[in-house]
Amino acid sequence: MDILSIVGIILAFAAVLGGNFIEGGHFSALFNLPAGLIVIGGTLGAAILHTSWPSVARACKIVLWVFSPPRQDVHETSNKILHWSMTARKEGLLGLEIIVDAENEYFAQKGLRLLVDGTEPDAIRRAMEVDLYLIESRDLKAARFFECMGGYAPTIGIIGAVMGLIHVMRNLADPSQLGAGIATAFVATIYGVGLANLLFLPIASKLKGVVQQQYQYNEMIVEGVIAIAEGENPRSIEMKLQGYLEHS
């Protein structure tokens, strides 16, 4: 559970809406259905045209990571790898066979299977590094979906505002109506700039951070598996995993 993300969103919206309330603004003045339709629909449309289908689908899935990033216990996993290496020492690589199916992490299971199959260390490295790279680049593309929404939202907010101003210009001679019209038009700007800066851009950045952390976590598993395949002794493997432990 990433408490910080929740605190950030609540703080941002509470401050902006609260400040407006103290100033004497009415929430109703900030609520405008057409403006919302223009900004959210337009941004979503542009971002969908911009992005390939698999990235859109993945983005919908990983957006939850903002609040609950995938659980990764680096210490526990490091101990697990050490346990594998000791099993392999005592019973040979085939001794890992009974653990393979019990394992439910993708990288751990794939690595164990390659070990049990007696694959060469170099072949393991190549196979698993391609996987590492593919998964990272797929998830970064998904995170960039929010970045691109953060790029389109403010400009589409401006489109909405200018369209509202055009509509309002008919009443230029009547200040009372003009004011209400301009106010409505401005709401689209707030939606566009607000969604981009309080949601889309920070979310994209947070997701990128999670993706990079996962990459490091999986990299640790890969390094451990390769070290076992190379027959390194458990003590030396422990030292290798140390680096990952320190900045987890």
Site for a copy of itself in 133-152 (CB under 8 A): 134, 138, 148, 152
**Residue 190 touches a copy of itself, criterion: CB under 8 A:** yes
> Shortest Cβ distance from residue 221 to a copy of itself (Å)?
18
42 and 156 in contact (C-beta within 8 Å)?
yes
> CB of 37: closest distance to a copy of itself in angstroms?
4
Phi and psi angles of residue 5, each rounded to the nearest 5 degrees, phi first:
-65, -45
Nearer to a copy of itself, 29 or 64 (CB): 29
Q: Please count the residues of this chain forming the interface with a copy of itself, following the rule CB under 8 A.
A: 93
Contact pick of 196, 221, 225, 241 for a copy of itself (by CB under 8 A):
196
Q: Which range in 77-85, 105-113, 185-193, 226-234 contacts a copy of itself by CB under 8 A? A: 185-193
Residues in 59-88 that interact with a copy of itself by CB under 8 A: 66
Closest distance between a copy of itself and the C-beta of residue 158, in Å?
A: 6
Residue among 106, 209, 231, 245 that touches a copy of itself (CB under 8 A): 209
CA–CA distance, 193 with 43 (Å, rounded to integer):
12
Decide whether 88 or 196 has the Cβ nearer to a copy of itself: 196
CB 116 to a copy of itself: min, Å: 17
Q: Give the E-state strand segments of 96-164 in sequence order.
A: none
Kindly state whether residue 231 participates in binding a copy of itself, applying the rule CB under 8 A.
no
Instruction: Judge whether 7 and 124 are in contact, CB under 8 Å.
Output: no
**What's the sign of the alpha-carbon dihedral 223, 228, 231, 234?**
positive
Q: Which one of 36-44, 94-102, 106-114, 218-226 is the stretch in contact with a copy of itself (CB under 8 A)?
A: 36-44
Q: Which residues of 58-93 are buried (b: 16+ CB within 10 A; e: fewer)?
A: bbeebbebbeebeebebeebbebbbebbebbeeeeb
Minimal distance in Å, beta carbon 11 to a copy of itself? 4
How many Å apart are CA 82 and CA 221, to the nearest integer? 11
Does 100 sit near a copy of itself (CB under 8 A)?
no
Which helix (H) or strand (E) is 57 found in, with range?
helix 53-62
- Residue 34: how many other CB atoms lie within 10 Å: 13
Selected from 50, 80, 89, 113, the binder of a copy of itself by CB under 8 A is 50
Q: Which is nearer to a copy of itself, 14 or 98 (CB)?
A: 14
- Cβ(104)–Cβ(70) below 8 Å: no
To which residue do tokens 């390659």 refer?
A: 114
